Chain A
Amino acid sequence: MCSNCSSENFIVLENFINDLPSKEGALIEVLHKAQGLFGYLPQEVQAFVAEKLNIPVSKVYGVVTFYSYFTIKPRGEYVINVCMGTACFVRGSGDVLDEFQKKLKVKNGETTDNGRFTLGSLRCVGACGLAPVVTVNDKVYGHVTVDQVDKILADYAE
């Protein structure tokens, strides 16, 4: 079940849709808004968007799953992203990602059982001077080595 699906969020989303100058072509914009509100895009939210925009749910699902920015699974409290852009990759970000997988005992894209961390990778945050780069929510860590993984995780320990 969706944990963030308060009726309040649905009202905000409905108002957002109603205020759009045109509903034609607005699907991606609406999904950005919805993910901002709910944190992810569960089935209920996709069905809601489809109904309000008067398009089939299958189309909404097709768009949601096409774009990597949208997620249909809830994310952890802290989202750790290891940059796998080329600049970071050639400076060893693959090893850093492996170390996070080992330490958190999850695979890339998964969330820890306690819901605290989601591990992911992204393509280039554009801070190539700091490669390899790891982001935890909005915080950016630069020049990360395998040895520093423990220290980064410790910053977010319970």
Chain B
Amino acid sequence: MNKINTFNEFKEIQNRYNTLLEMRKINEELEKTSEGNRCSRYLSICGGTGCKSAQSDEILENLQKEIAANGLTDEVTAAITGCFGFCEKGPIVKVSPDNVFYVNVKPSDAAEIVKEHLLKGNVIERLLFEEPSSKIKVKKQEDMPFYKKQVRIALRNCGLINPEDIKEYIAEDGYIALGKVITEMSQDDIIKLMIDSGLRGRGGGGFPTGKKWAFAKMYDADQKYIICNADEGDPGAFMDRSILEGDPHSVLEAMAIAGYSIGASIGCIYIRAEYPLAISRLRIAIGQARECGLLGKNIFGTDFSFDIEIKYGAGAFVCGEETALIQSIEGERGEPTNKPPFPAQSGLWNKPTCVNNVETLANIPAIINKGAAWYSSIGTATSKGTKVFALAGKINNVGLVEVPMGTTLREIIFDIGGGIKNGRGFKAVQTGGPSGGCITAEFLDTPIDYESLSAIGSMMGSGGMIVMDEDNCMIDIAKFYLEFTVEESCGKCSPCRIGNKRLLEMLDKISKGNGTKEDLHKLKSLGNTIKDTSLCGLGQTAPNPVLSTIKYFLNEYEAHIYDKTCPAGVCKNLLRYNITDKCIGCTKCARQCPVNCISGKVKTLHVIDQDKCIKCGACQTACPVNAIIKK
């Protein structure tokens, strides 16, 4: 594409691209005529990290080969798109205009898709999603329970456009918001619009985005910076990565808008080095935007210049904290600094800096195009718009979901998520990652927003949502999170460095059956002290998983401490293997036992010596009649 010199010229070009995605939009007429016919078609293949890990590249390659071999090259296009979100059922191939959504596709299915569907117009039943309860096959994406309650704003283009083609982003009103902002609006106009929309930071803090911009605008400086925080370190959260992989231009456009609003000409994306695909898509997008003059000097022929560079993180969770992130960009150890001064006043290279999260940014072009009133009409009184959650753990439909604020946990977990895996019982859901807390069944009907989650001892965080069933031990989970924060603590302040380590040691003691009543008390008082005295967000929230599990699962702690048992059967030291009277006396277990602690004669009931047993489980695996149980 050539460089675009004015906004009017851009609008003309955009008009030409308008029809580019027509076939992919829901169109019942086209849908009907495609039935049983050979016709023009478009195949979208998920090119997100999850589906790529399950060979979606090969699927695309095979489809293209088959399309060419069957002489369909002129009528059928197959290309990658961003994450559809339904990762559980990946890889996903969507056929338009038929509006058919194939799930769990394998590279070997390509031939059948081409011969049956593309040549004859027959839908391949076995590749359709099957509704687990009714066993009914569902053809259309919008008819699936997984998608029904979703409202996709930040993810609007994921699964629709090809993220490596700027034309497709432009066809979906891309860069129109930027044009409108820099040719028609003042800095104050746009900041007011952002404040009116009610958008709050999606990285975890929940600070109103418009206000953040207003602060950064307030300070005069020869240089200011916009930073996009793409250091998604929360284990089990992948919404930012999916947005960058599926719709990188929306983030670039929003950064330029933010730059205009605060008076910055340089943007910087700080991204995890562990996200190679997102990095490569960003590089392509930045290259294309520069070529068209949508980044660079004098955008749309105005005085406004803005360019973006990429900086890599190097694996440190604390760098998601904005002051630590700035240290890291400057090439230092990622240790947080005291606030004030806030980055808005003195941030990167001591200049006014505004740090926004990926998901926050992805909302902005849509808000400008559709208006603050539209956005603020979605959500709850204090939290507007939608939130993307990465739904994972013991749930049927693992994936990325975007729902209006105020949706209940029950709707997300049971309606969208399809309930708990293998028909087990729901135990808890953990939100907010290592900084969040566990929420129990009694709060499933809480409409979620920033305030309601804090009120029940958890937090919104970046949007990780891990579902746990009755087989998960809450002490084990608390230990898991604490191991994470202890490992990731930067070590600068002592409450976090030393305190969390002590919390972890006490949890470890409890999980081994050596805990005492005093430990429970100490966990609580030390946890609260760490929260009150740590320097940054990491330390201030690190005890949350411990405190929230004590609050809601006190009986489990007590079982470990007083009864020396682990009700979920997870903590190895508290397990006991026992041989039931199902035993046929085959001696297999005794021969497998590495410490020779099983005794018994042939054809008689065997016994395990509990003092010698190391709980390796070898006997249980060896038993041919399932006579050995662990409790």
Which residues of A are in contact with B by a Cβ distance under 8 Å?
24-29, 31-32, 62-63, 66-70, 84-91, 122-131, 133, 140, 142
> In the complex, are the beta carbons of A124 and B238 less than 8 A apart?
yes
> In the complex, are the beta carbons of A69 and B393 less than 8 A apart?
no
Interface size on B, residues (CB 8 A): 52
> In the complex, are the beta carbons of A69 and B53 less than 8 A apart?
no
A129-B314 CB under 8 A given contacts A87-B236, A89-B480: no
Is B198's beta carbon under 8 Å from chain A? Answer: no
Cβ contacts under 8 Å, A24 to chain B = 330-331
A70-B53 CB under 8 A given contacts A25-B331, A128-B392: no
> What are 6 inter-chain pairs, A to B, with CB distance below 8 A?
A25-B329, A66-B490, A67-B315, A122-B274, A126-B242, A130-B54
Cβ contacts under 8 Å, B433 to chain A = 86
A85 to B484, CA, bound (A): 9
Cβ contacts under 8 Å, A88 to chain B = 236
Cβ contacts under 8 Å, A87 to chain B = 235-236, 390, 392-393, 398, 466
A133-B53 CB under 8 A given contacts A28-B312, A32-B273, A90-B393: yes
> A-facing mask of B68-90, CB < 8 A → 1, else 0?
00000000000000000001111
> In the complex, are the beta carbons of A66 and B393 less than 8 A apart?
no
A126-B331 CB under 8 A given contacts A86-B235, A86-B433: no
Interchain CB contact (< 8 A) of B238 among A63, A67, A68, A128: A128
Cβ contacts under 8 Å, A85 to chain B = 235-236
| Residues of B314-337 whose CB lies within 8 A of A | 314-317, 328-334
Q: List 8 additional A-B contacts (Cβ < 8 Å) besides A90-B393, A123-B317.
A: A66-B316, A67-B315, A86-B433, A89-B480, A123-B233, A124-B234, A127-B49, A130-B87
> In the complex, are the beta carbons of B392 and A70 less than 8 A apart?
no
| Residues of B216-244 whose CB lies within 8 A of A | 233-238, 241-242
Q: How far is the CB of A33 from chain B (nearest CB, A)?
A: 10
> In the complex, are the beta carbons of A25 and B314 less than 8 A apart?
no
Interchain CB contact (< 8 A) of B314 among A67, A89, A124: A67
Is B394's beta carbon under 8 Å from chain A? Answer: yes
Cβ contacts under 8 Å, B316 to chain A = 66-68
Q: Which residue of A lies closest to B332 (CB)?
A: A63
A127 to B480, CA, bound (A): 19
A140 to B399, CA, bound (A): 18
> In the complex, are the beta carbons of A31 and B88 less than 8 A apart?
no
A131 to B391, CA, bound (A): 12
> In the complex, are the beta carbons of B331 and A131 less than 8 A apart?
no
Is B477's beta carbon under 8 Å from chain A? Answer: yes
> In the complex, are the beta carbons of B333 and A66 less than 8 A apart?
yes
Q: Which residue of B lies closest to A62 (CB)?
A: B333
Which residues of B are in contact with A by a Cβ distance under 8 Å?
49-50, 53-54, 87-90, 233-238, 241-242, 273-275, 311-317, 328-334, 349, 390, 392-394, 398-399, 430, 433, 464, 466-468, 472, 477, 480-481, 484, 490
Cβ contacts under 8 Å, A70 to chain B = 314-315
A126 to B462, CA, bound (A): 14
Cβ contacts under 8 Å, A26 to chain B = 331
A46 to B374, CA, bound (A): 54
A88 to B464, CA, bound (A): 13
Interchain CB contact (< 8 A) of A86 among B49, B50, B349, B464: B464
Cβ contacts under 8 Å, A142 to chain B = 53-54
Interchain CB contact (< 8 A) of B484 among A27, A91, A123: A123
Q: Which residue of A lies closest to B233 (CB)?
A: A123
> In the complex, are the beta carbons of B398 and A128 less than 8 A apart?
yes
A89 to B241, CA, bound (A): 20
Cβ contacts under 8 Å, A91 to chain B = 393-394
> In the complex, are the beta carbons of A69 and B90 less than 8 A apart?
no
> In the complex, are the beta carbons of A90 and B394 less than 8 A apart?
yes
Please indicate which of the listed interface residues A31, A85, A124 has the most CB atoms of chain B within 10 Å of its own CB: A124
Cβ contacts under 8 Å, B238 to chain A = 124, 126, 128
Please indicate which of the listed interface residues A24, A27, A127, A128 has the most CB atoms of chain B within 10 Å of its own CB: A128
Q: Which residue of B lies closest to A53 (CB)?
A: B331
A129-B50 CB under 8 A given contacts A27-B331, A66-B334: yes
Q: How far is the CB of A78 from chain B (nearest CB, A)?
A: 17
A28 to B312, CA, bound (A): 8
Q: Which residue of A lies closest to B468 (CB)?
A: A90
